[in-house]
Amino acid sequence: MEEFDFGIVGLGVMGRNLLLNMADHNFSVAGLDLDAEKAASLEKEALENHTIKGTTSAEEFCGLIRKPRAIMLLVPAGKPVDAAIKSLLPFLEEGDVLVDGGNSYFPDTDRRVKELAEKGIHFFGMGISGGEKGARFGPSMMPGGNAEAYERLRPIFEAVAAKVNGEPCVTYLGQGSAGNYVKMVHNGIEYAIMELIAETYDLLKRGYGVEDSKIQQLFAKWNESELSSFLVEITSEILEKQDEVTGKGLLLNYVSDAAKSKGTGKWTSQNAMDIQAPVPAIDAAVQMRDISKYKEERVEASKVLKWKDNSETSEEQIFEELTDAFYFAMINIYAQGMAQLFIASKEYNYGLNLEEVAKIWRGGCIIRAACLEDLRQAYTKTPELPNLLMDEKLGKALQEKQGAARNVVKTFIDKGIPAAVFTSTISYFDSYRSEILPTNMIQAQRDYFGAHKYERNDQEGIFHTEWV
C-alpha cells in the first residue's frame, strides 16, 4: 500500500482545500470523512499530478499514512475533536502526531496533550487563519506542541503556508496549547479591528451622511497606505457589491446589523481578565456584538432616547483626521493583543517569540497588515518588550497622531454615535502613560468597607485604617 505524507480528518471546505494545497506542493495526502460523497469528491477535484486518496474508514486511513503518522483534525471544536481522536486511537502508534487545526479552547488542548502523551502520541493545537482561500493557496498557521515532533510537520507546513518576502507564515510557537492560545488572541484582535472599521463606517454614513461610494474610496485609498490590511481591503470591496436580490443599491444596506460570533473573541477577553492582561478594545468589540443582538430593544430605545447633534467638526476635517485616528487605534489594538501574549507566555510557560508571531501574521491570515512589519522590527530590536507602546518608532507615531484620535472621539460623542473601540484605545493609551492613577481611592474604599488593607507609597508594609 502506498505511504502518504499527511492525512486530514474532516473534508469540509477547509480540510479539502488544505489537502489540495499540500498536493500542489508534491505531497501525497489522504482524507477521512464519514460522508462518502465528500471522500469521493476529494479525488475528483485532484489534478493529474496529485496523489490523493479519500476514504470513510479510519483503519484504512491510518494505514495509508507513513510512520510516524502526521494527521490533522479539521472538525468543529469541542466534542467532535474528542470523538475524532477516539475513532483514530485504535490504529495509532507511539510517536504518531495528531494536529487539531480548529479553533479549540486552549485548556481543552492542554488536556488532550496530557492524555495522548500517556499513550506516546504527540498532540498539537494549531490555529489556521485565512479562510477557505487561505487554506487553498497559503494560510498563516500557528502550531504548538512538542518541539521535536514538529520536525515531522515542518517541511509540509512551511511549503503550504503563505509567504512574505520568501518567508513562510508558520513557525513553531511553543509547547502545549501555545498555538491555540496565539490563534485565540489573533481572533480577539480581529474582533477589535472589525469593530474599529464598523465604527469608522458608522460615523461617516450615519454621522455625516457620506455616500457609500465616497466611503468606499476612503478605504481603497487607505489600502494603498500604511493602513493597508486584509480587513481594510475587503471593506472597500464590500462597499462596491450591489444587491442582486432587489437590484437596488448596495448589498451592505440590506445586511442585518445583529452580529454573530463563535466565541473566540469572548475567550480572549475572559482569559485576559484571568491573567490580568488589560485588553479593553477587545472587550469593547465583544460587548458591541452582544449589544447588536438586542435589535428589538434598540429599535424601541431609539424612539425615546434622543440626542441632538452638537458636532462642529466638518466633513472635510473628519476625513483628514480619520486616517491618523484609525492608525492610532489600530496600533493600540495590536499592542493590547501582543501584551496579552507576553503575559500569557510567562503565565503558561509557552516561551513565545513575539517577533515570530508578528512575522507569521504578515501574510495569509485575517489580521495581516502592513504595520505588522513594524511590529516585528520592534520585537527584533527588543525581544522582551512588554508593550508595543514603548517601542521608540511606534511610540513616536502615536504621539504625533493622538491629537487626531482625540478629536475624532469627541466628534463621535458630539454626534451620539457609539465608538466603543475608538474610545477604549484612547483610555488605554492614557492609562498606560499615566505615572499616577486614581486607584489609590479604590484601595482606600476597599479597606474602608472590607478591611482589605492597603500599601503606602512612602513606606514598606501592609496597613489597615479605622476610617471613621
The pLDDT, as a whole number, for residue 308 is 93
The backbone torsions φ and ψ at residue 214, rounded to the nearest 5 degrees and listed phi first, read -75, -35
Pick from 46-50, 250-254, 276-280: least confident? 46-50
What's the pLDDT at 57?
Answer: 95
Specify the pLDDT at position 2.
Answer: 66
For the beta carbon of residue 38, count every other beta carbon within 10 angstroms: 18
**Whole-angstrom Cα distance, residue 406 to residue 29?**
54
Residue 83 has pLDDT above 90, yes or no: yes
Say which range, 47-51, 275-279, 339-343, 455-459, has the weakest mean pLDDT. 47-51
- Alpha-helical (H) ranges within 348-415 are 354-360, 372-381, 392-415
Please calculate the CA angle 374-380-382 and round it to the nearest 5 degrees: 105
- The mean pLDDT value for 53-68 works out to 94
Q: C-alpha distances in angstroms, 376 versus 99, 157, 173, 334, 414?
A: 27, 21, 15, 12, 37
Catalytic residues: 183, 190
**C-beta separation of 190 from 280 below 8 A:** no
> Is the predicted pLDDT of residue 137 greater than 70, yes or no?
yes
Instruction: Please say if the pLDDT value at position 191 is more than 80.
Output: yes
Helices (H), 49-162: 58-64, 79-88, 106-117, 131-137, 150-160
Quick one: what percent of the chain has pLDDT higher than 70?
100
State pLDDT tens for residues 327-374.
999 999 999 999 999 999 999 999 999 999 999 999 999 999 999 999
> And the C-alpha cell for 181?
492560545
Residues 123 and 100 sit within 8 Å (Cβ to Cβ): yes
Residue ranges, CATH 3.40.50.720, the chain: 6-176
Find the largest Cα–Cα distance for the chain.
85
At 141 the pLDDT is: 96
The pLDDT confidence band at residue 50, using thresholds 50, 70 and 90, is confident
What average pLDDT does this structure show over 306-319?
A: 92
Q: Higher pLDDT residue, 49 or 231? A: 231
Answer for the pair 86, 9: CB distance below 8 angstroms, yes or no: no
Confidence class of residue 131 from pLDDT cuts 50, 70 and 90?
confident
Q: Let me know the angle formed at the C-alpha of 295 by 292 and 300, rounded to the nearest 5 degrees.
A: 130
The mean pLDDT value for 33-57 works out to: 87
Which pLDDT does position 260 carry in this prediction? 82
pLDDT at 42: 85
Least confident stretch, 47-56, 164-173, 275-284: 47-56
The pLDDT of 419-425, averaged and rounded, is 98
pLDDT computed for residue 47 by the predictor: 77
Banded pLDDT at 262 (limits 50, 70, 90): confident
Split at pLDDT 50, 70, 90, the class of 49 is confident
Give the fold, CATH level 3, of 183-432: N-(1-d-carboxylethyl)-l-norvaline Dehydrogenase; domain 2 (1.10.1040)
- Contact partners, residue 151, CB within 8 Å, separation at least 6: none
Share of the chain above pLDDT 90, in %: 91
For 407-417, what is the mean pLDDT?
97
Task: Return mean pLDDT, the chain.
Answer: 95
- Tell whether the model's pLDDT for residue 1 goes beyond 60: no
pLDDT at residue 466 tops 80 = yes
User: Can you tell me the mean pLDDT for 29-49?
Assistant: 87
Q: Where in the chain is the domain with CATH 1.10.1040.10?
A: 183-432
Per-residue pLDDT band for 23 (boundaries 50, 70, 90) equals very high
Helix (H, G, I), strand (E, B) or coil at 413: helix
pLDDT of residue 389: 98
CATH of domain 6-176: 3.40.50.720
Distance separating alpha carbons of residues 396 and 381, to the nearest angstrom: 16
